[in-house]
Amino acid sequence: MDALVDDSLRGALQVSPARNDAEIVNFLFIGELSRLVGMTPRAIRFYEREGLITPSRHGRFRVYRSSDQARLQAISRLRLIGLPIATIRDALHHFLDLASPQAREEARQILNRHLASLTQRQAQIEDEQARTRALHEELKA
């Protein structure tokens, strides 16, 4: 859809007197944002539906700010380590404000809880593997 958007539309969005969003001057369309953050437009729309980003709209077009890009980069990183969407929704502000000692400590605590959960899951998987091997050996006999 970005290919259909020409420079005249971009210009109209930038100087639109109807917009009172000061950040609208520096914006991205979904295709541009998709390329920058390495996510599909579908994934970006999913995170919007989940309430993790809230792009502005101009008519039928979503327009994204640099803050949306930063949020999506953080979301991507947190999803990569396996944090659930609900946890990300509740904690994203901590990961976006790592200059604050309090936010940094909250983020560390969230990661500590996640590591504990991963360790517990790993122990369960190892137990299941041992039981599976034992059953496999029984069936060989």
If you average pLDDT over residues 65-80, what whole number do you get? Answer: 96
pLDDT, tens only, 93-138: 999 999 999 999 999 999 999 999 999 999 999 999 999 999 999 9
The residue written with tokens 């059953």 in the block is: 135
| In the chain, domain spans | 1-84, 97-141
pLDDT at 48 over 90: yes
Confidence of residue 25 (pLDDT cuts 50, 70, 90): low
Q: Map residue 128 onto helix, strand or coil.
A: helix
pTM assigned to the model? 0.75
pLDDT at 7 over 90: no
Q: Determine the pLDDT at residue 58.
A: 84
Q: Are residues 113 and 81 in contact, defined by beta-carbon separation less than 8 angstroms?
A: no
Q: Measured between alpha carbons, how far is 84 from 87 in angstroms, rounded to an integer?
A: 5
Fold of 1-84: Multidrug-efflux Transporter Regulator; Chain: A; Domain 2 (1.10.1660)
